[in-house]
Amino acid sequence: MALFTVPVVAGAVLVATVVWIVTRLRSADAAVPGPAFSLFSSLPLKFHEFCGNRTRYVHSLHLRYGSVVRLAPGEVAFASLPALKEIYMSNGSGYDKTAFYHLFRQYSTPTMFSTLDKQTHSKRRRILADRYANSNVVKAEALDGIRERASRFAAVAKTSQTLDIYIALHSYAFDGVTHHLFHPFGSNALQDEADERIMREVSFDNSLARRLLEYYYPSGLPGKVADLLGLLPPARSIPRAKQIVLDAVDATLLNASDEKTAGGPRAADFTLLARLQDPALGLTRMQMAAECMDHMAAGIETTGDVLCWLMWQISLPAFQGVQDRLFAELQANRDPSKYDSLPYLNAVLKEGLRMFPSIPMSLPRHVPEGGRVIDGTWLPGGTIVSCQPYTMHRFDQDVFPRPDEFEPDRWLDTTPEQDAEMNRRFFAFSNGGRGCLGKHLAMAEMKLLLRDVYMQFQTVLTDEAKAADMSMADQIISARPKDQTCKLKFIPRGKTEAA
């Protein structure tokens, strides 16, 4: 019996293998350029993901195979403008998100960002969008809070002279976003150690591998095995961050509904929380908290990391001239209301976002049922497709010559046509109906911070900063400077000048 079954089983396995190989070879992705192994296995891609190296790996495949490349069975990446438009902008918000985004649920509750389908998403987005419209961001009460925090940053720099900007900028971003989410219950991490600890909880999270396992193996077995073997860092644990959000929600909810405390502090009119509490929306306490938590996390890492990389870049000896030009422009335009209309400041920030998009990697979407032709390549429904900001900002060297060089002037010494070509590929905030909602807030925060710093200081790297590894360490969707530290020396301008 046993002698009979071994060949039968072996034969069955062989037949199944052959069928599988033939199916793969005849699949639509077989026609897509890419490494041969990626037709059969996603392991090389996963390996790079677990190493925090997905962005660079995907970029290297584009450089080798061109603007369309197969990453894994059923997963294809694009680096062209027609593909970007089709995947992210067709019909307004492009293709639906993949289950990857379930990793972004907060308090186990779905949020706008983690919603996969168009309909549910656009309903929520319509409710929240005006909170982040530029007209709301620049309202005096909203913007003054950001200004105040930018001056606080400069004041701290003045006193300490040497500042770890990785920490200070994440504190600044945390304070800025919580102001917009639930003023007067915003944080003060720049001055208050307890609040700084909340920021650290979020920013020093190391749960990448654990969360990837959760996504790839929802059954949990490989995760449990890896855990038993002690291979995994601790799970994402952000109790303080969760608490500050719940506290703000609860305080304002109670004061809004309870007669006795009706005169007490409420979320200011311009805030996200004020909108979420509109009784007409019928949101639960946890839905409000989840949405706030998501925007809080979205606002800390992204803004903090871009600013950190950018200030590091222009603190390098070869880029001190960039600071001098910023200083001259800011001196000539001291009126604070002008922060948004300064061409050089704008070019420097844009170049920072181009070189160091803090969400640099693939934003995965599903090809809709029935399949689609994307930039000339037909793919069946369900295929995972994406573009990544890091590559969109570098791949087409006619549009971005010397793509790895930091050159703010590329945004100034240019023709209107070239400028339009660059802007169409500018993908740091994604694009279309699922693009960054907080873009105007983020731009205001970053411009005000750079204004306050470079109007007053020259920044140079300390020896520690020279030794720090600033290369990209990918997280779940964002990336951060690998060593998570960058100590700069802040030299007051007046001293060098007046002396």
Q: Which residues bind ligand NAG (CB under 6 A)?
A: 51, 53, 56-57, 60, 90-91, 95, 250-251, 254-255, 261, 263-265, 368
Residue nearest to ligand HEM (CB): 438
Q: Which of 55, 106, 136, 430 binds ligand HEM (CB under 6 A)?
A: 430
Q: What are phi and psi of 454, to 5 degrees?
A: -85, -5
If the CB atoms of residues 100 and 395 are measured against ligand HEM, the closer one turns out to be 100
Total count of residues recorded for the chain? 499
The site string for ligand HEM over 152-181 (x = CB under 6 A, - otherwise) reads: -------------------------x----
**Residue 441 binds ligand HEM, judged by CB under 6 A:** yes
- Retrieve residue 343's tokens: 């061409």
User: What CA–CA distance (Å, rounded) separates 350 from 453?
Assistant: 17
Of 79-87, 217-225, 428-436, 483-491, the window that binds ligand HEM (rule: CB under 6 A) is 428-436
Of 66-74, 238-246, 274-282, 422-430, the window that binds ligand HEM (rule: CB under 6 A) is 422-430
Among 442, 200, 213, 218, which Cα is nearest to 310's? 442
**Residue 385 binds ligand HEM, judged by CB under 6 A:** no
Q: What is the residue whose two structure tokens read 């799970």?
A: 235
Binding-site partner at residue 67 among ligand HEM, ligand NAG, none, CB < 5 to 8 Å by type: none
- Retrieve residue 155's tokens: 């004041």
User: What CA–CA distance (Å, rounded) separates 241 from 364?
Assistant: 27
Binding-site partner at residue 255 among ligand HEM, ligand NAG, none, CB < 5 to 8 Å by type: ligand NAG
CA 405 to chain centre: 22
Using a 10 angstrom Cβ sphere, with 0-12 exposed, 13-18 middle and 19 or more buried, the burial of residue 322 is buried
If the CB atoms of residues 254 and 436 are measured against ligand NAG, the closer one turns out to be 254
Neighbouring residues of 286: CB distance < 8 A, sequence distance ≥ 6: 107, 109
If the CB atoms of residues 83 and 437 are measured against ligand HEM, the closer one turns out to be 437
Binding-site partner at residue 146 among ligand NAG, ligand HEM, none, CB < 5 to 8 Å by type: none
**Residue 449 binds ligand HEM, judged by CB under 6 A:** no
Could you give the angle at the alpha carbon of 472 between the alpha carbons of 420 and 66, nearest 5°? 50
Collapsing DSSP to helix, strand or coil, 474 comes out as strand
- Region 124-143 residues binding ligand HEM, contact defined as CB under 6 A: 125
**Residue 442 binds ligand HEM, judged by CB under 6 A:** yes
Which amino acid belongs to residue 245? Answer: V
CB of 95 to ligand NAG, least distance (A): 6
Binding-site partner at residue 261 among ligand NAG, ligand HEM, none, CB < 5 to 8 Å by type: ligand NAG
Q: Which of 276, 298, 310, 330 binds ligand HEM (CB under 6 A)?
A: 298
If the CB atoms of residues 42 and 53 are measured against ligand NAG, the closer one turns out to be 53
**Please, what's the largest Cα pairwise distance for the chain?**
97
If the CB atoms of residues 232 and 353 are measured against ligand HEM, the closer one turns out to be 353
C-beta separation of 320 from 491 below 8 A: no
Collapsing DSSP to helix, strand or coil, 261 comes out as coil
CB of 254 to ligand HEM, least distance (A): 24
Q: Which of 232, 322, 363, 444 binds ligand HEM (CB under 6 A)?
A: 363
Of 54-62, 236-244, 293-301, 464-472, the window that binds ligand HEM (rule: CB under 6 A) is 293-301
- Region 67-126 residues binding ligand HEM, contact defined as CB under 6 A: 112-113, 125
Q: Distances from the Cα of 248 to the Cαs of 274, 288, 465, in angstroms? A: 11, 10, 37
CB of 32 to ligand NAG, least distance (A): 18
The CB density around residue 243, as the number of other CB atoms within 10 Å, is 11
Of 77-85, 189-197, 301-309, 396-404, the window that binds ligand HEM (rule: CB under 6 A) is 301-309
Residue nearest to ligand NAG (CB): 264
If the CB atoms of residues 213 and 359 are measured against ligand HEM, the closer one turns out to be 359
Of 16-24, 331-339, 426-434, 484-492, the window that binds ligand HEM (rule: CB under 6 A) is 426-434
The site that binds ligand HEM (CB under 6 A) totals a number of residues, namely: 25
**Residue 476 binds ligand HEM, judged by CB under 6 A:** no
Which long-range contacts does 373-380 make (Cβ < 8 Å, 24+ apart)? 374/68, 374/78, 374/82, 374/83, 374/86, 374/87, 375/67, 375/68, 375/78, 375/80, 375/82, 375/83, 375/86, 376/82, 377/31, 377/32, 377/68, 377/76, 378/28, 379/28, 379/29, 379/32, 379/76, 380/28
CB of 266 to ligand NAG, least distance (A): 8
Among 439, 443, 434, 429, which Cα is nearest to 389's? 429
Over its C-alpha atoms, the chain yields an Rg (Å, rounded) of 24
Catalog residues that contact ligand HEM under the rule CB under 6 A.
112-113, 125, 177, 295, 298-299, 302-303, 306, 357-359, 363, 428-430, 434-438, 441-442, 477
